[in-house]
Amino acid sequence: MTHAVTIPKLGLTMEEAVVIEWGRADRARVNKGDVLITIETDKIMFDVEAEQDGYLQRVAEIGATLPVGGLAAWLHPNADFTAVGAGAGGAPTVASAAVPATATSTAAAPVAAAAASTSPAPSQQPATHPASLQAGNSASGQRLLASPVARQLAKAQNLDLASVAGSGPGGVILKRDVVAAGHSHANRPAAAVAAAAPMTVATPAGGFSRSPMSSMRKAIAQRMMQSLTSKAQMTGFGRIDMAEAVKLRESLVAAEKELGARITFTDIVIKAAATVLAGMPEINAYIDGNDIVTWHEINIGLAVAVDGGLMVPVVRNADRLNLVETSLARQVLIAKSRAGKLTREDVEGGTFTVSNFGSYGGDFETPILNAPQSALLGIGQITDEAVVRDKQIVIRPMMSISMTFDHCLIDGSVAGLFRARFKTLLEDPALFLARLR
């Protein structure tokens, strides 16, 4: 039986992936479990494996962007197969009548055969795109193909899809196209939009270079804009005297051999944040329509800088881990992030994020929420500063914090209470250690 190799859906927010590398040559014999293709999503690189033995017919080219459910290849039972082509959007088209009639796809979004040379009645017209790409009519009556997210976003923005240029395979309209069109049309009369001339940019005397954004950079740009436009974001700031926390870490570093891990301030921050969240479930939540969804797990996302962008792997059940377990989990995630080896499980399910911008010299910043999460804690560098204690000027190691939160869900007083409790834990290590598992 011929089997379609399609782009799997690796997360709730995933819409597309880029073909990075083929693991097997065209027409090569492959076995079940062999890596056929490596794809890159907005979060991870993923190896798609053969689900059965067969002979590979590659369809997608390296560098191609395919939607979830889009066709990447065929696996044929025999070496003397007749090639099957791919139509717009990655949907297959029959190249020969010799193609087995039993060819099927086991993907979540099934792939249908293309239309014959004579067009059947509308009720019999076969699909030419994956089922994940919804077809519908624009306000002007034009029939269009767009991803579900793109269609919903266009509806929310009262934007006619006929005015949006699709950048997906075969002209499919994706979310990024609607976002771009929404910004270009915002606050402008319809007539002005229709008559607007293409923007011209004067070429600098020294010239310039142009390069396409990577999938990661495009995803970051899209998600940052989506986060800012979908949540009422507010940032509160604070200062923490880290003198006692510094002593705590020094004692833990001295016991590194006995502990089996080198504890960092980031480990201490993750554990302290998880401890506070355990007592404030209203922050470990998000708004979904008219509902408030509260997570039952506390999974701390850790912003990690990598070549070309940012990854946010997740320390799971952080409130149940001690400092050593937290440190070991963090080290594994950072190593996998920088090696490009993160899995779907490593990046899914975060409920709160910590961003250590102090690692590159930052103090106060206004971090953007990692949607759908409702809060993010940024920590700055620790620096010796002159402060007043008991009416005396003394030198203390001080750390700044920035907490961004969704004001639709979290009131300023609640966010302030979180910062106060977090500050108390870091300034009183005895209390902090007493709360560790």
Structure letter (DSSP) for residue 359: G
pLDDT of residue 377: 96
Sign, CA dihedral 388-393-399-400, equals positive
Average pLDDT value for residue range 253-276 = 94
pLDDT tens digit sequence for 201-229: 566 677 778 887 776 777 778 778 888 88
Structure tokens given for 420? 């106060």
Asked if CATH classification 3.30.559.10 holds for the domain at 231-434, the reply, yes or no, is: yes
Average pLDDT value for residue range 384-392 = 93
Q: pLDDT class for 106, splitting at 50, 70, 90?
A: very low
C-alpha to C-alpha distance for 293 and 229, rounded to whole angstroms = 20
Structure tokens given for 187? 């606050």
On the question of pLDDT at 100 being above 60, the answer is no
Known catalytic residues are: 407, 411
Look at residues 275, 315, 281 and name the one whose alpha carbon lies nearest to residue 422.
275
pLDDT of residue 198: 53
Rg (CA), the chain: 26
Residue with tokens 């590398």: 21
C-alpha to C-alpha distance for 57 and 81, rounded to whole angstroms = 9
Between β-strands 352-356 and 300-302, what pairing exists: parallel, antiparallel or unpaired?
parallel
Q: Tell me the longest C-alpha to C-alpha distance in the chain.
A: 90
- Nearest 5°: CA angle at 429, between 318 and 426? 65
Between β-strands 285-288 and 291-294, what pairing exists: parallel, antiparallel or unpaired?
antiparallel
Which residues pair with residue 4 across a beta bridge?
Answer: 74, 105
* In the chain, domain spans: 3-109, 231-434
* Single-letter amino acid code for the residue at 423: K
pLDDT tens digit sequence for 164-208: 887 654 566 766 677 777 765 554 554 444 444 455 556 667 777
Average pLDDT value for residue range 64-77 = 91
Average pLDDT value for residue range 94-108 = 36
Look at residues 280, 405, 360 and name the one whose alpha carbon lies nearest to residue 272.
280
Structure letter (DSSP) for residue 364: S
Q: Please give the residue that has the higher pLDDT: either 98 or 221.
A: 221
pLDDT of residue 53: 92
Average pLDDT value for residue range 96-107 = 35
pLDDT of residue 54: 92
CATH class belonging to 3-109 = mainly beta
**Highest averaged pLDDT of the listed ranges 22-31, 118-127, 145-154, 189-198:** 22-31
Structure tokens given for 111? 């792939």
- Calculated CA dihedral for residues 252, 254, 260, 261, nearest 10 degrees: 60
pLDDT of residue 345: 84
Structure letter (DSSP) for residue 67: E
CA distances to 249, 250, 251 from 425, in Å: 14, 17, 17
Contacts of 126 (CB under 8 A, 6+ apart): 112, 113, 114, 115, 120
On the question of pLDDT at 59 being above 50, the answer is yes
Percent of the chain with pLDDT over 90: 42
Percent of the chain with pLDDT over 70: 75
C-alpha to C-alpha distance for 38 and 432, rounded to whole angstroms = 44
Average pLDDT value for residue range 262-281 = 95
C-alpha to C-alpha distance for 218 and 175, rounded to whole angstroms = 11
Q: Tell me the pTM.
A: 0.61
C-alpha to C-alpha distance for 396 and 389, rounded to whole angstroms = 10
pLDDT of residue 155: 77
pLDDT of residue 105: 36
Q: Please give the residue that has the higher pLDDT: either 392 or 92.
A: 392
* Single-letter amino acid code for the residue at 262: R
Average pLDDT value for residue range 66-73 = 90
Structure letter (DSSP) for residue 124: G
Q: Are 7 and 68 in contact (CB under 8 A)?
A: yes
pLDDT tens digit sequence for 321-361: 999 999 999 999 999 888 878 887 888 889 999 999 878 77
pLDDT of residue 144: 64
CA distances to 72, 288, 374, 423 from 86, in Å: 9, 38, 42, 58
Which residues pair with residue 300 across a beta bridge?
Answer: 315, 352
pLDDT tens digit sequence for 398-416: 999 999 999 999 999 999 9
On the question of pLDDT at 230 being above 90, the answer is no
Q: Are 169 and 88 in contact (CB under 8 A)?
A: yes
pLDDT of residue 164: 83
pLDDT of residue 294: 96
